[in-house]
Amino acid sequence: MDKFLGINPKILTRAEIVLIAILALAAFSLILTRYVNPDFVPLFNLKRLQEKVFLNTKPSPESKVEYMTFLLNVRLDEIKYILSRKKYDYLLSTSLRYSTLAGETTELIIANNLKDQAEPLKNQFLYHKQILHDLYVSYPKNTDNVEYKYLEDDINYLDIYLNKLSRLK
């Protein structure tokens, strides 16, 4: 059977070539964006888009919470990266992404009464709080550098979220 529906299987159509190129580009971008941090804006935006797509493909609240707790670790690593490289201009947006995700995860657990996932998230928050506190203590504090307040905000938000999770019965 040389031809199927009049198409020679040995010759790729333009559409097939374009599809293969798109899939190859998507696979390459998945690998590349895994290691991208907030200071490389174009690829970081692609990474965030991929994360949102992955989150929206999760079929249940439980699987969404699992993915979001993974992302919380990624967000904390991004904060550590920004501080270690002294790229303080990115600290506000990075810090906001972290605290927003922590709040969204907390609200998802509460809204769906996922009691079994509340305790692991509380433990994660306590661990992250200690790391954020250590970063806060070591952060240079002077009049030219007031971004340390964003770390303090993250710690305070975690306290609020811990309180909310503790009230889940």
Query: Is 98 contained in some domain?
Result: yes
Retrieve residue 83's tokens.
């501080």
User: Between residues 144 and 55, which one has the greater pLDDT?
Assistant: 55
pLDDT in tens, 127-152: 999 999 999 998 877 767 788 899 99
Query: Is 69 contained in some domain?
Result: yes
Query: Is 41 contained in some domain?
Result: no
User: Residue 47: exposed, middle, or buried by beta-carbon count in 10 A (0-12, 13-18, 19+)?
Assistant: buried
Query: Is 83 contained in some domain?
Result: yes
Which domain range does residue 152 map to?
A: 58-166
What pLDDT does residue 1 have?
47
pLDDT in tens, 4-18: 555 565 566 777 777
Query: Is 126 contained in some domain?
Result: yes
Query: Is 52 contained in some domain?
Result: no
| Phi and psi, residue 133, nearest 5° | -65, -45
pLDDT cut 90: percent of the chain above it: 58
Retrieve residue 92's tokens.
């506000």
**Residue burial 74-98, b: 16+ Cβ < 10 Å; e: rest:** ebbebbbebbeeeebebbeebbebb
Query: Is 122 contained in some domain?
Result: yes
Retrieve residue 89's tokens.
């201009």
Report whether 36 contacts 48 (CB < 8 A). no
Report whether 163 contacts 121 (CB < 8 A). no
Strand partners, 142: 145
Query: Is 15 contained in some domain?
Result: no
Ranking 41-45, 54-58, 136-140 by mean pLDDT, the lowest is 41-45
To 10 degrees, what angle do helices 115-138 and 148-166 make?
160
Domains identified in the chain, total number: 1
